[in-house]
Structure 1
Amino acid sequence: MRYNANSPGEYEHYVVNEERPLLEFLLDNVHQTRTKIKQTLQGQGIRVNGKTITQFDYMLQPGMKVAVSKTKRNQVTFKSRYVRIVYEDRWLIVIEKQPGILSMAGGHSSLNVKSVLDDYFHKSHQKCRAHVVHRLDRDTSGLMVYAKDIDTEQILEHNWHDIVYDRRYVAVLSGEMEQDEGTIQNWLKDNKAYVTYSSPVDNGGKLAITHFHVMDRTTDHSLVEFKLETGRKNQIRVHAADMGHPVCGDVKYGNGDDPLHRLCLHAWLLCFYHPVTREPMEFETTVPAAFRHLFK
C-alpha cells in the first residue's frame, strides 16, 4: 500500500472498484453529509494512493486506495502568494514556490519559505519548525521538500542521493538548441566572487552531471528538460551557459535574453522515498504557462 501519514486508526480506508469522480465515490461510501465531505477535501483530509487530493472531480480508477481522515482537520487556511502546499504529513511538507522568494533566510531579506512555513505551523498549532533540506535559487520556481523535525531532516540530508530518485527541471533557454538530447559533465567550483565556473578537468571543484532533453524549440528559444545526476550550486544555469544557450532571464550567467522578466527555470518533478516510511513519493507540477506560451 502507498504511504499513509497517520496511524491506521485515524483514517478510514476504501478500495475503488470502478472509474468515477472522487466526490461521487465519497458520497456513496462515506457516511457524512456533502458539506462535511467537501470540508474534508478542502482541509486536505483525503488521500488517494498516499497523495493528498483536494479536487472533487479527481477521476478514480479501479484498484486505487482512498483514505479519509476521521480527525477534525486544521481550520487554518494557508494563504501565501509565494508558496503553495502540495503535500503534508507529520514528518515533512512538500511545497511549490514562486520566483522571488528565498528558500531560507539570507542576508537582509526577510522573505523566505522557511519563515512562511514556520508561521503556518505556529498558527495551525503544530509543534514543529521547517528544516531546510535542499534549496532553490530565489528566482527559480518549483517543488521543494522541508522536514518538520530534526530527525527527519538528518535522514534526508545524509541520505539525499539514495532517497531522491528523480529530480527534473524545465527551462527556457536562449536560442535554438542544436542537439535533441545529451549529457554535460564537468567540474564546478566557485571563484572568490561566488560565481560558479566549470572546468573539463578536475579543478578541485565538484563533479557535476546534467542530462538534457529538448521539449520544444523556435528559432529564438528552446524549452528544455534537465535531469540532475548531481545537485551542485547553479548547476543547470552554468551547464546551460556552457552549451551556448543560457537560461533566459539569468542575470548571472545569461546573455541578456529576458522574454518573461524572470529566471526561466522551474523544478517540475520531485520523486523520493519517504525518509520514515520508505514509500515512494512522486510530485509533479505543470510547466509554467508563460514558458509554454513562448512556443505557441
Structure 2
Amino acid sequence: MENHNILEQEEEQDLFEHFNIVVDKGQSLLRIDKFLMLRLVNASRNRIQNAIDAGNVLVNKNTVKSSYKVKPADEISIVFAHPPRDTEVYPENIPLDIVYEDEDLLVVNKPAGMVVHPGFNNYTGTLVNALAYHFEQLPTLPGNDGRPGLVHRIDKDTSGLLLISKNEITMTKLAKQFFDHSITRKYVALAWGDVQQDGRIEGYIGRSLKNRIIMDMYDDEEKGKWSVTNYSVLEKLGYVTLISCQLETGRTHQIRAHMKHIGHPLFSDANYGGDKILKGTTFTKYKQFVANCFTIMPRQALHAQTLGFIHPTTQRYLEFEAPLPEDFSNVLAKWRNYAQNAE
C-alpha cells in the first residue's frame, strides 16, 4: 500500500507544477497576472491567465481575478498543469553548418534564433531536432534527457560554435573538460559605452529576484554560482565598444549579466536593457541611426567565435573560429562608419 501511495505522488508530480510565493515587504501594488509574469520562469501570459480562470491561483487561500493587486506579505499559491511533452526527440531535416566532424564529435556553427534543445514552448525546430535527423544515435549524460550529444549550450539569440559528441566515451571526456574549465571559449560582443580597458568580472550569478527570466550578480554564494569572465577591448567606436570575452565558467547568460553589472549592457540585448539608446546624442539623426542598427540586429550582439579543446581520442588540441554572421558584421560596419564621420 505504501508503494502505491509513492507511485501516486510521483504521477501527480509529473502532471502538476506547484509554486508558493510570499510577496516581499517592499512590493508595490501590482496586478497579480503581471506580478506572476515577472516572478515565474517560462510561464507565459496565457498559462497564468488559464490558471487564474481555473481557480488555481490562491491569495491567502482565496481565489482571485487577474485584476487583483498583490500587497506586501500576500501568500500566493499556484498550481499549473504540466504541458504535455514527449521526452522523445523527433528528427527534423534542418540544415546544419558543420565546421568540423570526425567519428567522435562535430563542431557546429549555430545561427542566431535557433534554440539549442527542446524545452518549454520549443519542442521543434531546435538544433537537437536537426542533430537527431543527421545522426542516427547520439549519447546523453545522466539527468540530461532530451539533449543528445550536447555537452554545453548557447542562448537562442547568440550565434556561434557548439561542440557535439557522437558517442558516450567522448561525451564523458568532453564534459570533464568543461567541468575543469579547460575548454577555450571566446566570444565577440558589442557593448554599450566606452569600455576603458581590459578587465575581469567575477562574482556569484543567480536568477534575478525581480525578473526570473534574467540573471543578477550577488555577493552571497547561497544566491548564485561562482562565475568569471575576462574581457579585452578590441575596438573603440565612440558610444559602443567591440570586446572579446573569454569564459572561465559557463553560467546561464553569463556575459550578458556580467556586462550589464559593470554598466555596459550588450547592444540590442532586450532582456538586459541594451535595446534602448544608452549612450550618445539627442539628435534625431543619431536616434534613427541606432534604430536602424536595432532593425538589422534585433538580438544581443554576442557571437561564440572561438572554441578550443583537447580531442578525447587523439589528445591533440583543436581550435576553431567562426566568422561574424551577417547581421553582426553589418551593424559593426555601420558603427565604424559612424565613429569615423564623428571624429
Q: TM-score, normalised by structure 2?
A: 0.58
AA matched with 1:175:
G
1:194 positional shift:
4.3
Aligned-pair Cα RMSD in Å: 2.1
- 1:93 matched to 2:93: no
Q: d(CA) in 1 for partners of 2:311 and 2:130?
A: 23
Q: d(CA) in 2 for partners of 1:169 and 1:91?
A: 25
2:341 maps to which residue? none
Q: Secondary structure at the match of 2:97?
A: strand
Asked whether the equivalents of residues 163 and 274 of structure 1 are also in contact (C-alpha less than 8 Å), the reply is no
1:187 maps to which residue? 204
1:138 maps to which residue? 156
TM-aligned CA distance change 1:131 to 1:271, over 3 Å: same
TM-aligned CA distance change 1:119 to 1:208, over 3 Å: same
Q: Deviations over 1:19-58 (max 9, x none)?
A: xxxxxxxxxxxxxxxxxxxxxxxxxxxxxxxxxxxxxxxx
Q: d(CA) in 2 for partners of 1:128 and 1:202?
A: 35
Q: TM-score, normalised by structure 1?
A: 0.66
Give the 5 Å matches for 1:259-274.
259=294, 260-274=297-311
List alignment gaps of at least 5 residues for structure 1. 1-77
Give the 5 Å matches for 1:1-296.
80=95, 83-109=96-122, 110-122=124-136, 127-128=137-138, 130-162=148-180, 164-177=182-195, 179-191=196-208, 193-257=212-276, 259=294, 260-288=297-325, 289-293=329-333, 294-296=335-337
1:221 positional shift:
1.2
1:207 positional shift:
1.1
1:45 maps to which residue? none
Structure 1 stretches (4+) deviating beyond 6 angstroms?
A: none
Q: d(CA) in 2 for partners of 1:255 and 1:194?
A: 15
Q: Deviations over 1:56-77 (max 9, x none)?
A: xxxxxxxxxxxxxxxxxxxxxx
List alignment gaps of at least 5 residues for structure 2. 1-92, 140-147, 277-292, 338-343
Q: d(CA) in 1 for partners of 2:257 and 2:208?
A: 13
Identity score, percent: 31
Q: Which has the higher helix share?
A: 2
Q: Which has the higher strand share?
A: 1
Asked whether the equivalents of residues 173 and 247 of structure 1 are also in contact (C-alpha less than 8 Å), the reply is yes
Q: d(CA) in 1 for partners of 2:237 and 2:213?
A: 33
Q: Deviations over 1:228-270 (max 9, x none)?
A: 1111111100011011110112121123236322221000000
AA matched with 2:200:
T
